[in-house]
Structure 1
């Protein structure tokens, strides 16, 4: 997150309880070994994550506002777990004992064990917060702590958040050019820490223009998560904390959410919800919702619905049509799914303007079935024709239903920075 003030409230897994029938079956095949039973109790993401960094203490009023806005994972102290549960929220626990040093001190280790025993069966608990933006030199200690918590409480996530691509070599703890150093940072993290989820933050909305590494970072995280077969979470910009950065508007926030979905994210987080000396965010110092809160209130439910629809599928590709950003992959000319701009404020085609993003999903690479198509122009609503053999359907996130759009080549209207989920029958 870039500074020590960032606080994350995360939510609880709805649990991995077995039905009685499945439990009996597991006992019966207990001959099939403890590994199967252990895997059944291992943390799973469940409902896609919608959370935030840096917010006020979790009172009932704050929890109610979060729930109303579509957040489903909140930051919590041990005493806040009951508050989260009252509002149907999952909770990410913060505690000083959740630190690698606790394993080397017998007294602190005993206190950590007691903490885990107290909270692991709480209905709101989803995850343990361990660290924000560690250096590679911190990975061995964090790996020990992740393994220790996984042994004592496999049902809950041990959460760590990583640096963005624009972190320095000194911060990353690796050497080389920007891409080389970051790739090595990710490799060491996955190899040593072995996380169940990859989380990172990246902020590109500057006072004058945008940074150029947003899609590079998305692509590298997507690749890392796919290789390890774990989900990933993107922490995106929702404020300004320095004159060099701007507060995004609702269309820019939609762009961040929908591009994350197209790259396969199963979690979204906003920096910040509310924090002193930060402009924008989701609420003012007195708790009054900002315009971004009202934008996120719609986007949060869309994110959860679309991500849940895509959760059983594999992210097969993320292709850019038109302008290809740094780190992006151009849509192949003969790929069976194509997109073409047919209207907008300018007479652009898919080869100019801000271009389009196609997130391709399916059960295997030979049969791509789902497409998250995103208008990468967050200033302009545009109409595009999506082409591909078969009958196209579009997904309605609000009703969680599919509606037929037409055969082979269908024109679709996209809001600024917005996307649509489609599938082929």
Structure 2
């Protein structure tokens, strides 16, 4: 067939009525799961909160429920967008920076702030410090105690270093000592930290090690943890993709995380910082849509996750040659992160995460209990349904939350 005849054939095909190709059925996207509140599971843009209503509305559309660190003057705009924020107070920041303040100075500064924000629904709490050393923790603990006493419903915000920080930065001989000092001295009802380990085409082990360290310390303390993950490219870190967002978010949830923050939403005009959800010129990038896809999944899964207790975390096949307490097998060739949970009545759940940033993987699950049934929590609707068929595939970095139903007891 010459080129002219080929073009004519293609043209004729494009004119075939759809009714002759086959029956069509209307396709409607499933209804999104209800939005989870920041008090239940914060989904936060780490950084300064914008002041203009258009930017705030776009953050809401992206699936965020915390716009970042805001001024008192912006609280009404944040509220009108359906968001919350952590208020930044200049006087409290001065105390932390100087690492000193008298008790009366702290009381007076907190009282002045309370009068402005205590009854405002957009004020999720008060921003105090990012990545403090142990030497700054006493002043943070004193300010936090006064804030919680005056406003029990508002959270002081402190975010900790990652595990690759130096002892000089940490102010402690080890990372675990740094975490334990935070729990002992600052005494906040949660622990937040950041870790950026996406490099050389894969997730570096420090990310999982950090999750493990924080999980152990917070389980002992009986408090939840929030993770701040990478949502842009900078330095030697990878450019964002669905896979990088998936792996960071699902790994956090598999370890039992109860909040996810994104560094950052707006691209700063610094060095090689690039491809955050909003670029340096105020335009949406492809990352904005990636962000919305993962936040929608978090909204769907969070209402189930927050009711679960983490019972174990395993890396398949590295640490699970004999299987896990719930699973004997997952299928050949899979490289997975497996988080196991129990709900208040003891029913078992498991989250499986594909650790590859490049390849999809299929699952052939073998529950340890013969005859057990497996149900999937939809990352779109949040509803429970059967698991199997083509649903046993995981995209690069993606995860799935499953409930394992033991077989009924044998009749006597």
Taking the aligned partners of 1:46 and 1:171, their CA distance within structure 2 comes to 30
Give the alignment partner of residue 395 of structure 1, picking from 369, 377, 380.
377
Give the alignment partner of residue 341 of structure 1, picking from 301, 308, 331.
331
Give the drift of 1:235.
0.7
Tell me the secondary structure at the aligned position of residue 155 of structure 1: coil
Taking the aligned partners of 1:189 and 1:125, their CA distance within structure 2 comes to 24
Choose 166-175 or 282-291, whichever is displaced more.
282-291
Relative to structure 1, the CA distance from residue 370 to residue 282 in structure 2 (aligned partners, 3 Å threshold; closer, same or farther) is same
Taking the aligned partners of 1:337 and 1:136, their CA distance within structure 2 comes to 41
Matched with 1:281 is 276
Q: Is the counterpart of residue 384 in structure 1 residue 363 in structure 2?
A: yes
Taking the aligned partners of 2:259 and 2:246, their CA distance within structure 1 comes to 14
Q: Deviations over 1:62-89 (max 9, x none)?
A: 1011000000011211011101110111
Structure 2 residues not aligned, in runs of 5+: 1-35, 406-412
Matched with 2:122 is 124
Give the alignment partner of residue 423 of structure 1, picking from 383, 393, 403.
403
For residues 190-339 of structure 1, the aligned pairs below 5 Å read: 190-206=183-199, 210-242=203-235, 244-274=236-266, 275-277=268-270, 278-322=273-317, 324=318, 330=320, 332-333=322-323, 335-339=325-329
Give the drift of 1:116.
1.3
Number of matched pairs = 359
Q: Is the counterpart of residue 74 in structure 1 residue 72 in structure 2?
A: no
Q: Is the counterpart of residue 84 in structure 1 residue 78 in structure 2?
A: yes
Q: Deviations over 1:322-377 (max 9, x none)?
A: 2x3xxxx54643633244235xxxxxx24xxxx1111111047x945111111111
Q: Deviations over 1:270-292 (max 9, x none)?
A: 11111212212111123221111
- Tell me the TM-score normalised to structure 2 length: 0.81
- Tell me the TM-score normalised to structure 1 length: 0.79
Matched with 2:88 is 94
Q: Contact 2:239–2:275 at 8 Å: present in 1 too?
A: yes
Q: Deviations over 1:185-227 (max 9, x none)?
A: 1111101111111101001122565533110001111111111
Matched with 1:104 is 102
Tell me the secondary structure at the aligned position of residue 213 of structure 1: helix
Matched with 2:132 is 134
Taking the aligned partners of 1:119 and 1:312, their CA distance within structure 2 comes to 30
Taking the aligned partners of 1:105 and 1:233, their CA distance within structure 2 comes to 29
Taking the aligned partners of 2:181 and 2:135, their CA distance within structure 1 comes to 10
Matched with 2:51 is 58
Relative to structure 1, the CA distance from residue 108 to residue 333 in structure 2 (aligned partners, 3 Å threshold; closer, same or farther) is closer
Taking the aligned partners of 1:237 and 1:399, their CA distance within structure 2 comes to 26
Taking the aligned partners of 1:195 and 1:201, their CA distance within structure 2 comes to 17
Relative to structure 1, the CA distance from residue 334 to residue 123 in structure 2 (aligned partners, 3 Å threshold; closer, same or farther) is closer
Structure 1 residues not aligned, in runs of 5+: 1-12, 15-44, 176-180, 343-348
